Amino acid sequence: MPLTTTSHRILFENASDMRAVADGQVALMVTSPPYPMIEMWDTLFETQNAKIGTHLKQAHGFKAFEAMHALLDPVWREVHRVLAPGGIACINIGDATRTLDGSFTLYPNKVRILQKLIALGFNPLPQIIWRKQTNAPNKFMGSGMMPPGAYVTLEHEHILIVRKGALRTFPSAEAKANRRESAYFWEERNQWFSDVWLDLKGTRQNLAAKGLRQRSAAFPFELAYRLINMFSVKGDTVLDPFCGLGTTLAAAAASGRSSIGFELTHDFEATIKAQFDDITRWANRIITRRIDAHLEFIAQRLAQNKPVKNTNRPYGFPVITRQEAELFISPVAAAEAETDDTVRVQYACPPEQPAFADHFEHPADGPPKVNKPQGRPRKTPAQSRQMQLHFDN
Ligand SMILES: C[S@@+](CC[C@H](N)C(=O)[O-])C[C@H]1O[C@@H](n2cnc3c(N)ncnc32)[C@H](O)[C@@H]1O
């Protein structure tokens, strides 16, 4: 059964109690919590535990650090409960540096959270370093060129990846077929599964103004989109317990996954909901960009006489491996509010005729060839506009 609908629910509640979510309901969690010991989150933590303010005033940095993490710990426990066996949790977290009473210290948020996750029974998997370069001239800390009082600049964050139990299985024929449809391209695998992400950009312009994204400490759309496509299949439910502007919910909708978000403050409610108003336009543009990038990749590979041996059935274009033969990125057809807190998104089915079949020749005795239309030479990616027409129908 091809994917037809997903649902996206936002609850303005404290995620340390997620009773609205059943045990094992979630296949993937993608989140970024407020970062302990980063000043922008002091007030949020202090309003939940007044002792944190006292610790900070008394320059008891590690007491404050521990008390802040003690507020996040119950959320990780709830995440373990709601994840299905084999479910994955991805946590974007940065360490903090801070000077209290003249003493400069690193507060290792990554280590503290990972320890808690392991104590809860999660199985740690290889992690990603998200390199966030800054060219700011004041990025270096400490005593400048005078040893030994200068400090290494923190220009990266971590994406912790942990699993609840053993590898997930897909026993039924239907589950196997859905998994094959949820595949990503070979060249995307090569980029996404690198342990250092240097290339994260592509925040959607219309998601929210840049200032608002900075104030809310939102992560880039592409970060959530990749993780969702890497670690879940279509129709799964993705959870974000610290959902902020709802970037994870948007990325889940664009990927054909359902989502549930928890958020303490109502400040971003209008922004979270508004992103679904024009989802058909922006989600399908993301899909078009992925298809364009694949067509460009294939055109280059064929031009270099490198092997391209397989064909994708729904699109009719060449792919590198057999695992990509059924890959289909479901276009968004419509979205509507179902209740006050839930939006339902509908998807188009795979086309009956492969959308790009006419653009490639598949000679029996050699590699596929790109069919250039007669007359004006066109770049291969332009062919994906044809796909856009399909989305619009
Ligand atoms: C780093 S931001 C998340 C940003 C989000 N990834 C995005 O792209 O917009 C953390 C969010 O968690 C919320 N928050 C903090 N503690 C919470 C809790 N216990 N339950 C629910 N939300 C919480 C904060 O209000 C804040 O919006």
**40-56: per-residue pLDDT in tens?**
999 999 999 999 999 99
Four-residue CA torsion sign, 274, 275, 279, 282: positive
| Burial class of 367 by CB neighbour count within 10 A (0 to 12, 13 to 18, 19+) | middle
Structural domains of the chain, ranges and CATH numbers in brackets: 5-275 (3.40.50.150), 293-332+353-392 (no CATH)
Q: What is the pLDDT of residue 248?
A: 98
pTM (2 d.p.)? 0.93
Which residue from 73, 77, 263, 267 has its CB within 8 A of the most atoms of ligand 1, so it is best to mutate? 263
Residue 391 CB-half CA count within 13 A: 22
Mean pLDDT, residues 67-83 taken together? 98
| Burial class of 122 by CB neighbour count within 10 A (0 to 12, 13 to 18, 19+) | buried
Q: How confident is the model at residue 208 (pLDDT cuts 50, 70, 90)?
A: low
**153-183: per-residue pLDDT in tens?**
999 999 999 999 999 999 999 999 999 999 9
Atom of ligand 1 nearest to the CA of 245: 9
Pocket of ligand 1 (CB under 6 A): 14-16, 32-34, 44, 75, 216-219, 241-245, 247, 262-265
Q: How confident is the model at residue 380 (pLDDT cuts 50, 70, 90)?
A: very low
Q: What is the pLDDT of residue 217?
A: 86
Percentage above 90 pLDDT, the chain:
79
Three state DSSP letters for 21-87: CCCCCEEEEEECCCCCCCHHHHHHHHHHCCHHHHHHHCCCHHHHHHHHHHHHHHHHHHHHHHEEEEE
Residue 359 clears pLDDT 70, i.e. is over it: yes
The token duo for 158 is: 């971590």
**Total Cβ atoms within 10 A of residue 360:** 22
Q: How confident is the model at residue 136 (pLDDT cuts 50, 70, 90)?
A: confident
